[in-house]
Amino acid sequence: MATTDDEASAFRALADPTRRQILEDLRSGELAAGEIAARFAISAPSISRHLGVLKGAGLVTERRDGNRILYSLAEDRLATSIGRFLSSVCPEQIVLRHTKWRSATQEEGGTS
């Protein structure tokens, strides 16, 4: 049951476009809370609430660096939550994507 609750919190967090954009912004690496807030036309407290939801869902992690809070994407958690759901709903698509990815990787590496 805990896994279902964890996945539900991840999907609730992903339901908001601002939170999805924060995750996309963190894709390239760690950002301070102020840097994240500067990217949006909403208040810093609103961004802080969005970050709290993402952290509560386990989709971002935070660490302190002096007086700054730095956020980073919890890629494994995001991939596990989404992947588990997708594999239960459309398992054949997961197999197809993995096969296509493997084929593309082998072609780039020059092996078949």
pLDDT tens for residues 3-32? 667 788 999 999 999 999 999 999 999 999
This prediction's pTM = 0.75
Backbone angles phi, psi at 26, to 5 degrees: -80, -10
pLDDT at 27: 94
pLDDT at residue 37 tops 80: yes
pLDDT at 103: 59
1 confidence band (pLDDT: 50, 70, 90): very low
pLDDT at 77: 87
Give the span between the Cα atoms of 10 and 15, in whole angstroms: 9
Burial class (CB in 10 A: 0-12, 13-18, 19+), 106: exposed
